[in-house]
């Protein structure tokens, strides 16, 4: 009867410390995966599921660390149950081996998906509001308008190359070319 812990972080910058601390004393083995929850394939998760056998237990710290949606969570829990594998969510003390645990698990899965969808919706609304206010999103430009005007002048009147001007400004030639195109595409300000 082996207990295998599955941990997941979305990016290399995310720290799994909380999950490791929560699962270390509960599990015989820990497997960690670094990828988004919505990734179509989760190779480490698939390896963990293959390794589990009847009488074993899959343990995760949080529900959203293992499953993409309510349907995924309930489907996986049912597959595990049919193979004789128990499933536990450590921070909620939920054990799907019991009818009450399965009920709580199903309800918690629904709430977790609802929370994730709300977060996505709020993020989209916040980005749209920022755009309406005229806030520039993304990375700041590497070249300002004055540098682009100077580059355009030099390219049209002198025997200079995009590569030499880009090197002088400390950017790649493609960055200069793309920035010049963007500047041309900007709408002109309307006068009073």
Segment 133-153, tens digit of pLDDT: 988 888 888 899 899 999 988
What's the rounded Cα separation, in Å, for the pair 152 and 143?
12
Q: Is 36 a catalytic residue?
A: no
Mean pLDDT, all residues of the chain: 85
Count CA atoms within 13 Å of residue 42 on its CB side: 24
Residue % of the chain over a pLDDT of 70: 94
Judge whether residue 20 has pLDDT over 80. Answer: yes
Q: Is pTM beyond 0.95 here?
A: no
Confidence of residue 192 (pLDDT cuts 50, 70, 90): low
Confidence of residue 117 (pLDDT cuts 50, 70, 90): confident
- Look at 190 and 180; give whichever has higher pLDDT: 180
What's the rounded Cα separation, in Å, for the pair 162 and 192?
36
Count CA atoms within 13 Å of residue 79 on its CB side: 11
The helix-helix angle for 173-185 and 145-157 (nearest 10°) equals 100
Judge whether residue 189 has pLDDT over 70. Answer: no
Segment 67-115, tens digit of pLDDT: 777 677 778 888 888 899 988 888 877 777 778 887 887 787 788 778 8
Catalytic residue, from 10, 39, 156, 164: name it: 10
């Amino acid at each position: 009867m082996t207990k295998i812990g599955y941990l997941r972080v979305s990016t290399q910058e995310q720290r799994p410390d909380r999950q490791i601390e929560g699962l270390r004393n509960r599990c015989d083995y820990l497997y960690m995966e670094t990828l988004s929850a919505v990734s179509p394939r989760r190779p480490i998760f698939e390896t963990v599921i293959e390794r589990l056998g009847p009488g074993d237990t899959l343990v995760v710290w949080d529900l959203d660390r293992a499953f993409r949606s309510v349907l995924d969570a309930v489907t996986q829990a049912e597959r595990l149950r049919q193979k004789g594998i128990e499933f536990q969510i450590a921070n909620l003390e939920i054990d799907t081996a019991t009818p009450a645990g399965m009920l709580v698990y199903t309800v918690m899965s629904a709430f977790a998906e609802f929370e994730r969808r709300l977060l996505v919706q709020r993020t989209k609304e916040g980005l749209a509001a920022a755009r309406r206010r005229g806030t520039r999103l993304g990375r700041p430009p590497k070249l300002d308008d004055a540098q682009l005007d100077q580059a355009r002048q030099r390219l049209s009147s002198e025997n200079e190359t995009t590569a030499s001007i880009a090197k002088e400004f400390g950017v790649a030639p493609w960055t200069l070319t793309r920035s010049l195109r963007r500047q041309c595409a900007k709408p002109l300000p309307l006068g009073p």
